[in-house]
Amino acid sequence: MAVVAIPKASEEATSAPTPTTQPNTITLRISRFNPSNDSLPTFAEFKIPVQKWTTVLEAILHVKQNLDHSIAVRYSCRQASCGSCGMKINGKPALACYTKISEIGSKVVTVEPMSNFPIIRDLAVDFKQLFSDHKKMKPFIMRDDSEITPGTKEFVQTPKDLEKFLQFSYCIKCGLCNSACPTMATDESFIGPQGLAQAYRYVADNRDQGKKDRLKIVDQSHGIWRCHFAGSCSHVCPKGVDPAMAIQLLRGYLMGFRK
């Protein structure tokens, strides 16, 4: 018969692990810039308590709730699904809700708006161009018939067909790839890795019949050929989309390597 020894109250007190939830304090530097009033961005510094699970977005919201409510930041889902809270965290584009302060490994965390986007205010940037380029790629299945046309069946895909584009359909339009792209820094007409990756996502989909249209859109002087394959877009993508690979695969169609 098994005997279970119940520890005495005094033993329990001494053997209990030390709580690890003691908050640390970090310095959060937030870029402040209002294009209508300021000529240059400045940094506001805040000392804030953080736990090991505190994300950068939670830290910013702590400042907003308790220290300075005027900070402009865009966020929504808090779980890396909506793509709203992209920003530069210690110089690297990342989602604030998906980046834990404990993982950054620094007592000073600097947050700035994403590069290559016009700043609306503080950390919020204008996504007009990103969404416009995304729309230009016709991000939908193009074909004459439809699955709901009488007499037609579901457009069945094999797992192999799905594999060709599935990875690229995980894009959440957060703009981090465009922010990290060195070409976008100088060429404001460049479609950008987000748009090009989406073009490939639909070109590679065997249900789609709009390949010719999309290839024509990307095959222009500020289109796919301006990518220098730096790969930084893929490096910063929080969803593992790998836009750099999509661009190379899309080039294959234009070079005649792929049909």
Q: Is 106 in the site for other proteins (CB under 8 A)?
A: no
Q: Is 31 in the site for other proteins (CB under 8 A)?
A: no
Could you give the CA distance from residue 10 to residue 7 in angstroms, rounded to a whole number? 8
Q: Is 259 in the site for other proteins (CB under 8 A)?
A: no
Could you give the CA distance from residue 256 to residue 42 in angstroms, rounded to a whole number? 50
Smallest gap, in angstroms, from Cβ of residue 69 to other proteins? 39
Residue closer to other proteins by CB (options 34, 220) is 220
Q: Which of 165, 226, 239, 244 binds other proteins (CB under 8 A)?
A: 226
Look-up of token digits 């520890």: 7
End-to-end CA distance of the chain, in Å?
72
Q: Is 220 in the site for other proteins (CB under 8 A)?
A: yes
Q: What angle do CA 245, 55, 230 make, to 5 degrees?
A: 20
Residue closer to other proteins by CB (options 60, 177) is 177
Smallest gap, in angstroms, from Cβ of residue 219 to other proteins? 5
- Torsion, Cα 136 139 145 149, to 10 degrees, reads -130
Q: Which of 82, 219, 230, 248 binds other proteins (CB under 8 A)?
A: 219
Could you give the CA distance from residue 122 to residue 171 in angstroms, rounded to a whole number? 25
User: Residues in the chain, how many?
Assistant: 259
Could you give the CA distance from residue 175 to residue 178 in angstroms, rounded to a whole number? 5
Q: Is 225 in the site for other proteins (CB under 8 A)?
A: yes
Q: Which residues contact 71 (CB under 8 A, 6 or more apart)?
A: 30, 32, 44, 60, 63, 64, 122, 123
Residue closer to other proteins by CB (options 121, 226) is 226
Site string for other proteins, 156-195 (x = CB under 8 A): ---------------------------x--xxxxx-----
Residues at the site binding other proteins, with contacts judged by CB under 8 A: 183, 186-190, 219-226, 254-255
